[in-house]
C-alpha cells in the first residue's frame, strides 16, 4: 500500500508520516522543500502531489499545504486511480467563515471535505478542534516574559487536541476502511476555559500563571503585532465569543477509534515545556 501525505512537515503531517511508516506502509511525503526535509527511512520525499500520485492508493489532503492546487490535486487523484481520500477539515467547518480563524491562515476546511466527498472515491473527513500547539503560538512569548497571559474572554472554552492524536486517527483512516464515509469530530479529553488553560500550563511549569481578560480591540492589535492578520484576529475573537453561551463540546471519537483516551493537554505541555520556559 502506497500512501501520499500532503503537508508532510506540518504539525499533523509529520507524526502521520511516522505512524504510517511504523505500520509498514510505503509513504510518499509531499513537501515544498524535499531537499531539506528529514523523515524516517524508507519514506519517499517529493516536492509535489503530482509527482507522488502514480501508483498511490490513498491520499491525505491538507488544504493549507495544497493551496490553490487543491481542486486540481483531487482531480489528479481520481485520474491516477487513487481509491481513498482522507481530508483534514475542522470541527467548525460548518460555521460562518467569519468565525473560522484558520481560513485566514490558508485552511479551506469546508472545501477540502466537499472535494473529497464529491470525488466519487472512498472518503473520510477529520474534523479536529483547536490544536494544542496553537496555544504555544499565541501565549508562549507572554509566558516566557512573565506570569500573566492577556487575551479575550476568560470564560470562553475549548477542548484542545494534541496533533499526534489527529495523526493516529488519520493513519487508521488511511490504512483501513473502518471510517469510510464519516465526518469525524475530534477533540481532546477535556474542555477548559481560557483561565483554566493558563492555570493548567502553570501547574506543569510550577508557576502561578494567571489569565487577564483584555478588550477585543487590544487583542486585535496584539495579534497583528505577532504577524497575524486583522481578519484572523476578528475571527478568533468571534469564535471564542460563541462559546460563552455554548461551552466547548468534548467528543470521545479518539477513544472509540484508537482504544485509548485522547492525550491530556497537560501531557502535551509537559512534553513541550521548553516552549514556555523563561
In a domain, 217, yes or no: no
In a domain, 45, yes or no: yes
The pTM for the full model equals 0.96
In a domain, 60, yes or no: yes
In a domain, 151, yes or no: no
Give me the mean pLDDT over the 131-160 stretch: 95
Backbone φ and ψ of 134, nearest 5°: -60, -35
Indicate the pLDDT class of residue 228, thresholds 50, 70 and 90. Answer: confident
pLDDT at 35: 87
Number of domains making up the chain:
1
Average confidence score pLDDT of the chain: 96
In a domain, 46, yes or no: yes
Indicate the pLDDT class of residue 40, thresholds 50, 70 and 90. Answer: confident
pLDDT at 278: 79
pLDDT at 212: 97
In a domain, 236, yes or no: no
Q: 246: which 3 cell numbers?
A: 455554548
The parent domain of residue 14 ranges over 2-129+162-187+249-262
Q: Output the domain CATH number for residue 124.
A: 3.40.50.720
In a domain, 157, yes or no: no
Q: Are 140 and 228 in contact (CB under 8 A)?
A: no
Q: What is the pLDDT of residues 176-217, one digit of tens each?
A: 999 999 999 999 999 999 999 999 999 999 999 999 999 988
Across the chain, the runs of DSSP E, i.e. the strands, are 2-5, 26-30, 44-46, 58-62, 84-88, 122-128, 148-151, 157-158, 183-186, 192-193, 210-213
In a domain, 118, yes or no: yes
Q: What is the pLDDT of residues 103-144, one digit of tens each?
A: 999 999 999 999 999 999 999 999 999 999 999 988 999 999
Amino acid at each position: 500500500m502506497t500512501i501520499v501525505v500532503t503537508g508532510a512537515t506540518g504539525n499533523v503531517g509529520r507524526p502521520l508520516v511516522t505512524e504510517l511508516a511504523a505500520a509498514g506502509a510505503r509513504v510518499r511525503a509531499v513537501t515544498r522543500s524535499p531537499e531539506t526535509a528529514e523523515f524516517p527511512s524508507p519514506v519517499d520525499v517529493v516536492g509535489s502531489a503530482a509527482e507522488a500520485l502514480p501508483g498511490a492508493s490513498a491520499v491525505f489532503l491538507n488544504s493549507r499545504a495544497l493551496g490553490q492546487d487543491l481542486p486540481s490535486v483531487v482531480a489528479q487523484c481520481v485520474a491516477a486511480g487513487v481509491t481513498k481520500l482522507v481530508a483534514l477539515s475542522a470541527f467548525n467547518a460548518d460555521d460562518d467563515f467569519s468565525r473560522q480563524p484558520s481560513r485566514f491562515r490558508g485552511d479551506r476546511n469546508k472545501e477540502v471535505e466537499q472535494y473529497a466527498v464529491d470525488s466519487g472515491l472512498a472518503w473520510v473527513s477529520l474534523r479536529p478542534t483547536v490544536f494544542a500547539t496553537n496555544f504555544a503560538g499565541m501565549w508562549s512569548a507572554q509566558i516566557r516574559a512573565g506570569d500573566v497571559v492577556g487575551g479575550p474572554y476568560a470564560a470562553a472554552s475549548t477542548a484542545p487536541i494534541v496533533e499526534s492524536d489527529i495523526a493516529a486517527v488519520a493513519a487508521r483512516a488511511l490504512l483501513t476502511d473502518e471510517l469510510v464515509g464519516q465526518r469525524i469530530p475530534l477533540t481532546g479529553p477535556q474542555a477548559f476555559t481560557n483561565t483554566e488553560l493558563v492555570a493548567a500550563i502553570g501547574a506543569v511549569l510550577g508557576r502561578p500563571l494567571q489569565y487577564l481578560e483584555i478588550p477585543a480591540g487590544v487583542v486585535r492589535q496584539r495579534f497583528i503585532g505577532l504577524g497575524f492578520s486583522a481578519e484572523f484576529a476578528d475571527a478568533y475573537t468571534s469564535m471564542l465569543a460563541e462559546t460563552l453561551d455554548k461551552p466547548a463540546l468534548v467528543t470521545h471519537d479518539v477513544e472509540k477509534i484508537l482504544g485509548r483516551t485522547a492525550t491530556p493537554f497537560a501531557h502535551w505541555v509537559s512534553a513541550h515545556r521548553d516552549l514556555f520556559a523563561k
